[in-house]
Each structure stands twice: as structure tokens, then as C-alpha cells.
Structure 1
Amino acid sequence: MKTPIKALLLDFGSVISKSLFERQNIIEEKLQLPKGVLTWKGPFDPSSDPLWMSMQRDEITERDYWGTRAQEIGALIGKKNWSMLDLLKSMGEKTDYSEILRPQALQVIDIVKKSGGKVGILSNEIELFTGKEFVDNLPFLKDLDSFYDATHNAILKPNPKAYEIALNTLQLHANEVLFVDDQLRNIVGAMKSGLKTLHFDITQPDACYQYVLHVLGINSLIATNN
């Protein structure tokens, strides 16, 4: 007999939040950079982004990739040793979550909760990249049944312990949880830990989130992101 999925466990960066690849025009506008100066495209054009491909081969970490990009952007405006936190804070004093969060993600979190399911986040670096104030004011935070951010410890995905912590908080078995992440290494780690998985394609967020609802057995449609 097939075990029903009782919870949705989501990565944050690029899954719930829009990736910086999708927000390059906003970065250029807010930092008053020439339009089109940011040319790295990651999964939207992998062959043109050797650093991204290096990350996909596990030669560098995701933190390394984004740390390098933040330093490059900082250098363009005369700032040395910029971090992702520096970059994201520089884009505006007031956080506009509607610019940052995927509407599909917010819809699906709401649908799953109203359908009686559980929802959790399993992230390696939300606060590291965005800051504590950003995390504390996430509009869906109160709806979560589990929240694990590895910013303050060394237990990062795909370490099996990270998935174990999330499962313990959800109080569910691995085969009762659908885990969604945009990085294949984290998907492989989750599979090894027994979770159901979806490798999120950030170039097709509508289709991915509709598939999430299908896997969870929820007969609802999300509004497409026009």
C-alpha cells in the first residue's frame, strides 16, 4: 500500500525565494549598475557560467558560488569583500517580500496547510544570506510546522543529520515527506535518507509547484506567474 505524503519540506533559496538570476535587473537598477553588466545565468544558461558548472560538479559549495558573485558585484561599486548579506541589504532598506518570494510558493504553502498537511523549511543559509530581521518577518513563518536553518551550526544538507532534524520536528517518517530543493546534491542526500523528492527547476516554477500538489494528492490549481 502506498504511503500518503503528509508534509511538504522546502528549501528556501530559489525554491521559495526567487533566485538572483531572476532578479539581476533589480540588482542593476538598485545599485545603479549598467543594464546587462551581470552576465552570469546559472541554470538559465549553464554553459555560459563556468563557476555554476563548477558548483554542480561539487568542486565548490553553493556558499562559495554566491560569495564570489557578491564580491564581484561589490567590486563594481567600489566595495571590498562583500558578502551575500551585504549585497541583499544594499538592495533596499525596506524589504519587499513581493519582489523576493515566489507567489507560487506562498500559494502552495497556504493550500497544503488548509488541506491539513504540514509544511517545513530545511535550509543551509537563510539567515547567513538575508539577516535575522528578514527571517523573523517572513510572512508565512507562523504557518510552518518545522524550520531548520543551518546558519548557526555545521549540519548542512546533504548531511543525513540535517534531514533527520527536520523529520523529528515534523514528527513524521521519511517516506511521509516530500522534500523539494533546486540543488541535486541535496536531493540525492534526501533520497538516501528515505524522503520523497522533487528536484526543483527554477526555470519552470509553475510546473514544479503544480507537480508538488499532484504528488501530495491535492486537487488544486495554482495561479500561473504571468
Structure 2
Amino acid sequence: MIKAIIFDLGGVLVDWNPKYLYQKIFTDESEMKSFLETICTNDWNEEQDAGRTLQEATEVLIKEYPEQEENIKAYYGRWEEMLNGPIEGTVEIFKQLKEFGKYKIYALTNWSAETFPIAKQKYDFLNWFDGVVVSGTEKIRKPDPAFFQILLDRYNLKPEEVLFIDDNFRNVKSALKMGIDSIHFISPEELHAELVDRGGL
């Protein structure tokens, strides 16, 4: 029986994307794409999600790409401009689940320990959870099963007692291998339909 629902945050409840910042910096779309695919990449960003400091991350890239120093520094210097607001439909689902009162609701997020407090201060709904586990704080991230296990152990949950929601199918596959029922998030509308089908709403 499902006792708890676990939400991913970025791409599910929060609309975060480096493009929102770098579209202001680059006038050429292809140059922006190249910068984000070869310099400030997803893999590089995930190292901060796993606990590397923002200062170290920035210094590593500037050393390798000194000609891009200003653009690299903007990544965390203007990080808040990557936030495009809540994904309102999912926030509404979250609110309904809270009001329903049937489940404990947690967050399991790949997020830098240094930037997460900025988002938490900006968006009140990030304070609604019964518990939040942040990869940058734990220094381990999804899809590592050990990261999921931290949340299960901390809140005395078993895999078969939780439902996990994430927009990254890599993370969904990892959860499913652990015996955690999971929903691959595509849109708030599809999530709502999935939860209704499961009797969650």
C-alpha cells in the first residue's frame, strides 16, 4: 500500500533551464547551444549536484576555457535567472495531495546544496514537504540507488510503500529496479490522469 509520494523538483515542480539565462547572453542560438553542450554541460552541472562547490566548478572551467570566463561565471553568478517559475499544474496537484491528507509527501532532488536554498526561499511550496533530500548535501545523486535508500531509511519507508515521480527516465528506471512504483513525468495533465488511475487523487 502506498504511504508516501516522492517528487523530483526540477522539471516537475520547478521550471529550471540554463537556456533562460543564456538566451539573454548569446544573440546566436547555435553559439548558446554549443556553449551549453561543450562547456557548461549537464555532466558538469551534475558534479555540483553531487556536492562539488560552485567555486571549484567555476574555476575548473575557467582554467580550461579562459576565453569564456565571463559566460562561465554567469552560470552561478546569475543562476536565479535560470528559474522560470513554478510548473503551476504540478504545484496544484501537490496542493491537492496535501489537502487529501492520505500520504506523506517528500522530495528527492538532484540539486546543488548552495543553490537549493535560493529556490526554497523563492518558492513557498518547496517548504510544504514532509521531508526533502538534496543530492548536493548528501554528496550522492540519482540515479544511484543509494541516494533513494537515504530517503527510505530516513523516513522509515519501504520501496513498496512509495510512489516516485521524475521527469528523467534514467531515474525512473533506477527506482523501478528497486521495486519503487514510479511515474515518468511528461506533463501535469498526464500526471493527474496517472494519479487518478492509481486512486491517489
Identical counterparts, % of pairs: 21
Tell me if 1:28 matches 2:10. Answer: no
Tell me if 1:150 matches 2:132. Answer: no
Amino acid at match of 1:217: G
Q: Distance in 1 between matches of 2:71 and 2:27?
A: 19
Tell me if 1:180 matches 2:162. Answer: no
SS in 2 for 1:18: strand
SS in 1 for 2:70: coil
What is the match of residue 46 of structure 1? none
CA contact (8 A) 2:112 2:137 kept: no
What is the match of residue 108 of structure 2? 122
- The structure carrying a bigger strand percent of its residues is 2
SS in 1 for 2:73: coil
Q: 1:154 to 1:26 in 2, by over 3 A?
A: closer
Aligned-residue offset at 1:137: 4.3
What is the match of residue 79 of structure 2? 88
Q: 1:115 to 1:178 in 2, by over 3 A?
A: same
Superposed CA offset, 1:55-75 (max 9, x none)? 7xxxx57627x989xx7xxx9
Higher relative contact order (CA 8 A, sep 6+): 2
CA RMSD for the aligned pairs? Answer: 3.8
SS in 2 for 1:28: helix
What is the match of residue 149 of structure 2? 164
Matching of residues 59-74 of structure 1 within 5 Å:
60=43, 63=46
Aligned-residue offset at 1:80: 4.8
Q: 1:176 to 1:216 in 2, by over 3 A?
A: farther
Aligned residues: 186
TM-score (norm 1): 0.64
Amino acid at match of 2:111: E
Unaligned segments of structure 2, at least 5 residues: 50-56
Tell me if 1:217 matches 2:199. Answer: yes
Aligned-residue offset at 1:160: 1.9
Aligned-residue offset at 1:171: 3.1
Q: Distance in 2 between matches of 1:85 and 1:208?
A: 33
Q: 1:192 to 1:61 in 2, by over 3 A?
A: farther
Amino acid at match of 1:20: N
Q: Distance in 1 between matches of 2:122 and 2:16?
A: 19
CA contact (8 A) 2:108 2:134 kept: yes
Q: Distance in 2 between matches of 1:181 and 1:131?
A: 17
